[in-house]
Structure 1
Amino acid sequence: MEASQGLRIILDGHIHSKYSRATSKDMNIRNIARFAKVKGLNVVATGDFTHPGWLKELKETLKPSSFEGLYQPAENEENVYFMVTTEVCTISSFEGKPRRIHHVIWVPSLEVAEQISEALSAYGDLEADGRPTLNMEPPELVERVTEVSSDNLVFPAHAWTPWFSLFGAFSGFDRLKDCYQDMTGRIYALETGLSSDPPMNWRVSELDRLAIISNSDSHSFWPWRLGREANVFELPEPSYKAIVNALKSKDNRRFLFTIETDPAYGKYHWTGHRNCGVSMPAREAVKAGGICPVCGRRMTQGVEERVEELADRPEGFKPPGKPGFVHLIPLSEIIATSLGLENPQDRRVW
């Protein structure tokens, strides 16, 4: 990619490596770069820099690019650039309730990643998982990360999913400020997750000052997973700082729109009980009192219902100046459906 009058950048800023649980063993830089190019991404996350094994591989397989803060594969020229990222899980307690929250961290270099890993190693075993569990409170995480460099970015991952998220029904918070407390001012973005989209987040006025971003959280390099959600920028000079500054400034001339999977496709969009094959929209779930009509046990509260609980605006409200969005379905899934196939991995699709 060349920096000229303005460069269109499509970024997937949250994925995982082979060092994360339930992730393809072939999730390496070569495969990520190859299929990111197929997908149409030109910047993609490394994921998992906190894992010592993956950080070592990143140092061996990436080289600095001509664009500050972005890297290229050392052994091929796929014209795909990498941003150094990770996801961590903090475990703490708030108002007598355990809180397990996932956060994404972006950094401008592998050297900074190494410094952060060293700082966070005091809070948990970084070798146990590509997405490590840390015994610390969210504001402490933000403080530790941003004191290494003010260029580092921390934001809540898949903010609405029932488990392990900022607003999650089971172990999350009702307010952004309750989670990040005195460090809330250092939070500049929020990740929608597959089960929500920007319009759902616009209904919560507390989130107005944040950039609403979307990423795949992919555990596989296949194009129907990688980049299924992404962020589109137009920047005069592509760099890590240019991307982060576009988010911090909320400049919709630079941060143009997000690419979204329709939330209805998300696993946690509706309230339900998987074991009983029950799934229902928010209004029906409220009428049912959250109780499964088959077995009588409490259902998993879906993202749609959770948004209804916390929303202080009507459906359809859009704050002024927000970037746009588009709902897309992976081409491989459309082809598979047209051929009567259940699996987009089927060779007949490709």
Structure 2
Amino acid sequence: MRFHADLHIHSKYSRACSKDSDLEHLTWWARRKGVTLMGTGDLTHPVWFERLRESLVPAEPGLFRLRDELDREVSRTLPPGLASGTVRFMLSTEVSTVYSRGERTRKIHHLVYMPDFEAAAAFNRRLGRAGDLEADGRPVLRLDSRDLLEITLGSGQGAYLVPAHVWTPWFGVFGSKSGFDTVEECYGDLSRHIFALETGLSSDPAMNRRVSGLDRYRLVSHSDAHSPPMVARETTVFETDLDYFAVMEALRTGSGYAGTVEFFPEEGKYHLDGHRKCGVRMDPRETRRRGGVCPVCSRPLTVGVLSRVEDLADRPDGTRPDGDPGFRSLVPLPEIVGEILGVGSKSKKVLNEVDSLTAALGPELAILQELPVGDIARHSPALAEAVDRLRRGEVIRDPGYDGTFGTIGFFKPGELERINASATPALF
């Protein structure tokens, strides 16, 4: 079967995460978005781990589902067309390691996956010796990346690790502030056990494929959602059985791995270089011309993902290895509706309109990718035009930098007014 997976999320026990980040809300939003397989996130946190044990029951091999009584409560609050969507969970967590190597402080984030609760418990026992697992759902441990990988592999058959958002300046394995130039440098003699890399919001596969040393890795994308509505802003697509081990094998071999759904990388908050406090944003060429120094405060710029890719690239733009399944770049539906209505994407007005759209047309990912534009036009001609442009990649890009998200737009001044004036009354 073909399905979307979002395997990097956080619970309410992670810092700066929504109090609604629980299993019920995550299931609700997965159905609304059209995601079949979710990570649990935060399996290292003792309270969340017990919640997972209480609320999930075994489903397909290595996967779990909500208990029937909880699932019925979730389904009761969804429109009929969305209520029956299949949602499964894979035991997962993100771990932050902070350590010294090569006379530098390294701060690297990793995604870890476990095939069952017994393996997860063994993993937690060993990690507990390296730091406080109760302090944060994403624990910060003074542990070498190589040693974390060893602990992961020793926790149970099928446990595996994926480096998280690999280009992020502060916490990516290739990050400009504290990372490495190769996977092998980071994970040493165990690097052969790494077979997938998470690209992060500020890069896409096209950027990654400029580095020939990454050809052997499957490139995955996930939301890193800190609140349930952010689920599925990026996903990985599989064509496999719904099965933990089938997903792992697809990532290991490429068979059954069907590519990713991505942010436009310019929307990520570390795409270009710059200084947020100084309001300075630069592309790589300008950064190099200025020696990496901010022209306002004369301090080093935060070097973003595009510059870091340029540093390591040994291929031109447009390179695509044989067998690479490709990707699609999307914009979350609330952001598109917000532009059309002229209000923020999190406003009540936008939320109400998106509720109406998904109730009438189906899950968000299907609306953005598959639904005929004519069907969308019957509800909103402006939305139909935006989706048509989105599918063609005809968007207006304002890149993010130094922790500031970029924006992706669809309409130039006056265009929306002309579209609305020529349309018959619709949803909005």
Q: Residues of 2 paired with 1:97 and 1:316: CA distance?
A: 34
Counterpart of 1:246? Answer: 250
Counterpart of 1:30? Answer: 24
Q: Residues of 2 paired with 1:25 and 1:331: CA distance?
A: 23
Counterpart of 1:260? Answer: 262
Structure 1: give runs of 5+ residues left out of the alignment. Answer: 1-6
Amino acid at match of 2:265: P
Q: Residues of 2 paired with 1:285 and 1:114: CA distance?
A: 46
Q: 2:164 aligns with which of 157, 162, 174?
A: 157
Q: Residues of 2 paired with 1:303 and 1:29: CA distance?
A: 32
Q: Deviations over 1:223-274 (max 9, x none)?
A: xx11100011111x210001110010112xx111100000000000000100
| 284-293 or 273-282, which deviates more | 284-293
Q: 1:68 aligns with which of 42, 50, 61?
A: 61
Amino acid at match of 2:87: V
The runs of at least 4 aligned residues of structure 1 exceeding 4 Å deviation read: none
The structure having more radius of gyration, on CA atoms, is 2
Are positions 1:308 and 2:303 aligned together?
no
Counterpart of 2:238? Answer: 233
Q: Residues of 2 paired with 1:334 and 1:110: CA distance?
A: 40
Q: Residues of 1 paired with 2:251 and 2:29: CA distance?
A: 26
Q: Percent identity?
A: 46
Q: Helix, strand or coil for the counterpart of 1:36?
A: helix
Superposition TM-score, scaled by structure 1 size = 0.94
Q: Deviations over 1:135-182 (max 9, x none)?
A: 211111111111122311101100001101101111111111110000
In the TM superposition, residue 134 of structure 1 has moved relative to its aligned partner by 1.5
Amino acid at match of 2:42: D
Amino acid at match of 1:116: F
Are positions 1:330 and 2:337 aligned together?
no
Q: 2:300 aligns with which of 298, 301, 305?
A: 298
Q: Helix, strand or coil for the counterpart of 1:348?
A: helix
Are positions 1:134 and 2:141 aligned together?
yes
Amino acid at match of 2:130: Y
Q: Residues of 1 paired with 2:259 and 2:219: CA distance?
A: 9
Amino acid at match of 2:340: S
Amino acid at match of 1:29: L
Amino acid at match of 1:347: K
In the TM superposition, residue 312 of structure 1 has moved relative to its aligned partner by 1.4
Counterpart of 2:281? Answer: 279
Amino acid at match of 2:237: V
Q: Helix, strand or coil for the counterpart of 2:126?
A: helix
Q: Residues of 2 paired with 1:211 and 1:150: CA distance?
A: 20
Q: Residues of 1 paired with 2:24 and 2:104: CA distance?
A: 42
Contact 2:120–2:155 (CA<8 Å) still a contact in 1?
no
How is 1:9-28 mapped onto 2 (pairs within 5 angstroms)?
A: 9-28=3-22
Contact 1:176–1:206 (CA<8 Å) still a contact in 2?
no
The total of aligned residue pairs comes to 337
Contact 1:258–1:325 (CA<8 Å) still a contact in 2?
yes
Structure 2: give runs of 5+ residues left out of the alignment. Answer: 76-85, 353-428
Q: Helix, strand or coil for the counterpart of 1:140?
A: helix
Q: Helix, strand or coil for the counterpart of 2:245?
A: helix
Q: Helix, strand or coil for the counterpart of 1:293?
A: coil
Amino acid at match of 1:326: R
In the TM superposition, residue 339 of structure 1 has moved relative to its aligned partner by 0.7
Q: Deviations over 1:197-233 (max 9, x none)?
A: 11111111111111110011110001xx111000111
Are positions 1:48 and 2:42 aligned together?
yes
Q: 2:217 aligns with which of 210, 228, 231?
A: 210
| 310-319 or 96-105, which deviates more | 310-319
Are positions 1:88 and 2:95 aligned together?
yes
Contact 1:36–1:227 (CA<8 Å) still a contact in 2?
yes
Amino acid at match of 1:247: L
Q: 2:128 aligns with which of 118, 121, 131?
A: 121
In the TM superposition, residue 282 of structure 1 has moved relative to its aligned partner by 1.3
Q: Residues of 2 paired with 1:150 and 1:72: CA distance?
A: 21
Contact 2:14–2:42 (CA<8 Å) still a contact in 1?
yes
Counterpart of 1:345? Answer: 346
| 288-297 or 274-283, which deviates more | 288-297
Q: Residues of 2 paired with 1:279 and 1:149: CA distance?
A: 46
Counterpart of 2:375? Answer: none
In the TM superposition, residue 17 of structure 1 has moved relative to its aligned partner by 0.4
Q: Helix, strand or coil for the counterpart of 1:105?
A: strand
Superposition TM-score, scaled by structure 2 size = 0.77
Counterpart of 1:4? Answer: none
Contact 2:173–2:180 (CA<8 Å) still a contact in 1?
yes
Q: Residues of 2 paired with 1:159 and 1:80: CA distance?
A: 27
Contact 1:108–1:152 (CA<8 Å) still a contact in 2?
yes
Name the structure where helix makes up a greater proportion of residues.
2
Q: Helix, strand or coil for the counterpart of 2:29?
A: helix
Contact 2:41–2:92 (CA<8 Å) still a contact in 1?
yes
Q: Residues of 2 paired with 1:296 and 1:135: CA distance?
A: 32
